[in-house]
Amino acid sequence: MKMMMNKIILLNIFILSIIIGEAQINSAKITFERKTNLYKKYKDNNVEDWMKEEDKIKIDFFELFVTDTFSLFKAQESDLREQMSWATSKNVVYQDFKLKKRYTIKSIWQEEIHMLDTLWYRNWQITESSRKIAGYQCRKAIWKPNDSTRIYAWFSYDITPSTGPESFNGLPGTILGLATEDGGVVYFAKKVDILKPEATLFVFPKKKKLRNEKELIAELTKQYGKEKWFKRMLGNMFGLW
């Protein structure tokens, strides 16, 4: 009798592990909406003097392709003419989790800059707070890049790759929501398509001139370090994302 009960328990554990394994998602395409408050982003430039209140929120759409070993974050392609395209950046970020490499394409003054770096490391604090995003229950985590700044992330245990928008990673699941503490920049997933992305999506571009982030910051600092606007620009480009 005891042996029979043990067999039943083991069978139930086996069935449960199959159900849990099937419920978890290890590859997908996730569509994000990003809202940027331009009044907050350009608060040192008297933006209220030349921008209408109804135009202060700029919305951009992105796609995140994820697998167990790679992710690719990029702007969603559109034939529509974009208003104020200059006001926000649209980085392309490849992450290779096996090689721990990050390939980023930034547009700086209409020049495409290609960078190769190691993956970001962020010291996350996972909280008990949760919310549902795009139909998935998510847990809230906090990252403090410095004493005055907090970034909030909401990740789902159901989507297993440790990645997210921009260069974010390092949590036990995919980030479906991301926000600065002041709400100046907010990313939220709008749709999750369960699919297996083509492997060719994750091939790093081949460029002769590659910088790393440290080299690019040094280069920009040498040229513009004395300008009043430079420190804020540097923070927007490199400090968080």
Per residue in 185-234, pLDDT (tens digit) is 999 999 999 999 999 999 999 998 999 999 999 999 999 998 888 887 88
Distance separating alpha carbons of residues 66 and 232, to the nearest angstrom: 31
Q: pLDDT averaged over the chain? A: 89
pLDDT in tens, 38-52: 988 887 667 777 788
- Domain coordinates of the chain in residue numbers? 25-239
| Confidence at residue 4, expressed as pLDDT on a 0 to 100 scale | 58
Contact status, residue 65 vs residue 72, Cβ threshold 8 Å: yes
Distance separating alpha carbons of residues 241 and 235, to the nearest angstrom: 9
DSSP tally for the chain: helices H, then strands E:
4, 11
Is the Cα dihedral 106, 181, 172, 156 positive or negative? negative
| Confidence at residue 16, expressed as pLDDT on a 0 to 100 scale | 42
- Helix or strand (DSSP H, E) at 118: strand 111-118
Neighbours of 125 (CB within 10 A): 10
Mean pLDDT, to the nearest integer, of 69-81?
91
Whether 3 shows a pLDDT value over 60: the answer reads: no
User: How far, in Å, are 95, 111, 115, 210, 212 from residue 206 at the CA level?
Assistant: 15, 16, 11, 9, 15
Distance separating alpha carbons of residues 237 and 129, to the nearest angstrom: 29
Mean pLDDT, to the nearest integer, of 55-83?
92
Contact partners, residue 192, CB within 8 Å, separation at least 6: 25, 28, 29, 30, 31, 134, 135, 136, 159, 176
Whether 14 shows a pLDDT value over 70: the answer reads: no
Distance separating alpha carbons of residues 144 and 165, to the nearest angstrom: 17
Contact status, residue 133 vs residue 158, Cβ threshold 8 Å: no
More confident position, 54 or 4 = 54
Distance separating alpha carbons of residues 163 and 68, to the nearest angstrom: 9
What is the reported pTM? 0.87
pLDDT in tens, 118-162: 999 999 999 999 999 999 999 999 999 988 899 999 999 999 999
Whether 91 shows a pLDDT value over 80: the answer reads: yes
Fold of 25-239: outer membrane lipoprotein receptor (LolB), chain A (2.50.20)
pLDDT range class, residue 236, cuts 50, 70, 90: confident
Neighbours of 235 (CB within 10 A): 12
